[in-house]
Amino acid sequence: MQYHLPMEQTRNKDNQFALLLKANNERVTSPRLIIFRQLLRGSPIPMAKLRVKSALDGVDTATVYRTIALFTRLGLVQEIGVGSRRLLELTDNFGSHHHHFWCTKCGKIVNFDDNHLEATLDALASRLDISIESHQLEISGICNACQ
């Protein structure tokens, strides 16, 4: 098995992953770990690409589908809509909270976070007297390279 992330970071996330599965009476299998690590790399990934990458590590398509269904049920993975594409990524429980910009010309996706944006939403919650549990924000436009 290959490690593409710094060991410490991988170990912490792996532990967190193992705990979540255990709490739900699910085992940490090798295919599950392989798929989790693919998602951990950060960029939202289409199912087709995840299947190809997992196949390289010996995980078949049916297992990828089953695993993603399980991860979704456990709140580990979410599907996001970027333009007409459906992409998979880790939820905020495992990734870090962020938003996406995608370029309508080249399709590039950039993850970003912004403290002012989050503070604005906090202020909004106060003003409306609501408690926000989650939010999504996707921005599209033309990237730097395509301008």
With helix as H, strand as E and coil as C, how does 7-75 read? HHHHHHHHHHHHHHHHHCCCCCCHHHHHHHHHHHCCCCECHHHHHHHHHHCCCCHHHHHHHHHHHHHCC
Q: Which of 55/106 has CB closer to Zn ion?
A: 106
Q: Which of 73/97 has CB closer to Zn ion?
A: 97
> Is residue 103 a contact point for Zn ion (CB under 5 A)?
yes
In the complex, the smallest distance separating the C-beta of residue 145 from Zn ion, rounded to whole angstroms, is 5
Q: Which of 92, 105, 112, 119 binds Zn ion (CB under 5 A)?
A: 105
> Is residue 141 a contact point for Zn ion (CB under 5 A)?
no
**Residue 105 carries which DSSP code?**
T
Q: How far is CA 110 from CA 11, 24, 92, 100, 102, in A?
A: 26, 33, 16, 6, 6
> Is residue 87 a contact point for Zn ion (CB under 5 A)?
no
> Is residue 119 a contact point for Zn ion (CB under 5 A)?
no
Q: Which of 22/105 has CB closer to Zn ion?
A: 105
> Is residue 143 a contact point for Zn ion (CB under 5 A)?
yes
Q: How far is CA 1 from CA 18, 37, 89, 123, in A?
A: 17, 11, 21, 46
> Is residue 106 a contact point for Zn ion (CB under 5 A)?
yes
Stretch that binds Zn ion, among 2-10, 54-62, 65-73, 95-103 (CB under 5 A): 95-103
